[in-house]
Structure 1
C-alpha cells in the first residue's frame, strides 16, 4: 500500500525535532511537515483546556496540508490531548509518552528519575502509567526553565548547567540508575546531562520508539510513500533562527503565523 501524503509532526517548539530526526532516519522516503508552535512554548505550564485548544489548532494546520497521519512530538500535548484529538479527527495520531517502561525494565536499583514538564507529570495518562510500577521508586522532577532556555538557543549556558545540577544532583544522591527524559526538548541537553550524571546512569528518551510506532502505523493502516525526493518542510510562528540552528541550516524553515 502506497500513500505519498506527508507525515505531520507538531510540538510546542523546536524540541520535537528530536522526534522528527528519529522518524526521518528510520523512514527517509517519507515526506514530513514539522510545525513548531514556539510562540506558545512551553505547554507544560498551561491548563489542560489550553493544551487541547492548541493541539486542535496545530492538528488543523497540518490536516489543511493533507497530512496522512500526525505525530504529537510533545509529551505534554500527548498526555493531555491525544484522547480528544482521536475523538475529533479521522486520522491516525501517534503520541509520545515518557519511556517509563523501558527504564523500569533496565533498572537494577529499582529507582529511576524522570525529568519532565509540570503538564506531563500532572496528567492523568502519566499517573495511570506510573501506577503500574509499584515496585519501582520513581523520582519526578519538573524541569522548570529548561524549555525556555532551549527555545532561546541557550543550551550550553551557565544558567542551563546550574538548573540541570539542581534537578539531577538529588536524583544521583537517591541512587537512580536510569533517567527518563520526559520532554521532547530534553534530548538536546544530553551532552550537558551526560557531564553531570555518573557513567552508570542510563539516559532514556522516546525518539526511537515513536519512529518504530510510526513505521508500524504506515505499514498496517496508512501506507508508505514511494521513493520521495522532496525535502522536509519546517514551519514556526516565531523567529526561525534557533530552529535553523538546531537543523544546522540543512532544511527550509518558513515563518508562518498560526
Structure 2
C-alpha cells in the first residue's frame, strides 16, 4: 500500500470523537478513516493518568497495526494526559485535541469564560499550563461534566435526564455572566441542541473539532501524505455497542460499523 493510501487512525473513549471525525471527513473527504470507540472503558475522565496512558497506548498500537499513517487522539482527556507519552513512544505523527481556551480568552468581551470538561482534563498538567498562559486577565469558570459522557454514550440525546443535567452544570457559568462556553470534551458537541435551548444567544459556544481537522490536514500536507483519490469506506469499531455509532453518524454515505473486542 502506498503510504498516502494508508488510513487516518482515530480513537476516543467512545462515540464522542465522531464529532471530530465529522470535521475531518468534511475537510478531507478523500481520506479513509479507521475509528476506535473504546466505549467499554468510558468515561476516561474519571480514571487515573496512568490508566488513561495505558488505554491510549493500547488504542494507538491497534491503529498502527491497522496501518494508520497518522493518529488523531479524538479525546480531550487522552490528549491532555497521554499525548506527550505517545509522541515520545511512536514516530507516527499524532494530533491531539485540547479545550479551545485560547480563542475564548482572547475574544471574550466580558473577560469571563466557562469551560465544561471532564475531571481528567481539568486536572491535567497540559490543561493547567495552557489555561495559565492565556487566561491571566480572564475569569474562568470551570465545571466538571460529571455524568454527561455515560448519558451521551446511550445515544439518546433528547432524554430528560440529560437535559436536566446540562441545565444544572451550565447554570453556575451563566450566573457569572460568561460570554464564551468552551466544550472541553469531544462528546459535548452532541449537546448543542440542548445548549442552544439553555444558553443565551450572546454566549459563543466553541469546541476543538475544526482546529483538530485543520491540524490533521496541515500535517498530512507537510509530510506529503494527503490522498489524491477517494479511499476505501471509513470503518468504525466499537467494543460495546456499534448500533449507537450507526445512529449518531446519521449519514447518507455508507460507513462500515462493527464490533471489535479491544
- Regarding TM over 0.5, the answer is yes
1:29 alignment partner in structure 2: 30
Tell whether the 8 Å contact from 2:5 to 2:231 is kept in structure 1 after alignment.
Answer: no
Cα shift readout 1:173-212 (whole Å, capped 9, x = no counterpart): 1000000000000000001011000010000000100010
In 2: Cα distance, 1:2 partner to 1:91 partner: 12
Tell me, yes or no, if structure 1 residue 157 matches structure 2 residue 159: yes
Equivalent residue for 1:252, pick from 232, 256, 262: 256
Cα shift readout 1:111-153 (whole Å, capped 9, x = no counterpart): 0000000000000000001111210011000001110001012
1:225 alignment partner in structure 2: 227
Tell whether the 8 Å contact from 1:68 to 1:222 is kept in structure 2 after alignment.
Answer: no
Q: Unaligned 5+ residue runs, structure 1?
A: none
In the superposition, the TM-score normalised over structure 1's length comes to 0.98
1:147 alignment partner in structure 2: 149
Runs of 4+ in 1 over 6 A off after TM superposition: none
Tell whether the 8 Å contact from 1:69 to 1:222 is kept in structure 2 after alignment.
Answer: no
In 2: Cα distance, 1:221 partner to 1:83 partner: 20
In 1: Cα distance, 2:258 partner to 2:164 partner: 33
1:19 alignment partner in structure 2: 20
Q: Unaligned 5+ residue runs, structure 2?
A: none
Partner SS for 2:241: coil
In 1: Cα distance, 2:21 partner to 2:235 partner: 11
1:54 alignment partner in structure 2: 55
Tell whether the 8 Å contact from 1:3 to 1:223 is kept in structure 2 after alignment.
Answer: yes
> Post-superposition shift, 1:171?
0.7
2:98 alignment partner in structure 1: 97
> Post-superposition shift, 1:226?
2.3
| CA root-mean-square deviation | 1.2
May I ask how many residue pairs the two structures share in their alignment? 258
Tell whether the 8 Å contact from 1:2 to 1:226 is kept in structure 2 after alignment.
Answer: no
Tell me, yes or no, if structure 1 residue 210 matches structure 2 residue 207: no
> Post-superposition shift, 1:229?
4.0
Decide whether aligned partners of structure 1 residues 229 and 91 sit closer, same or farther in structure 2, where only a CA change above 3 A counts: closer
Equivalent residue for 2:240, pick from 233, 238, 241: 238
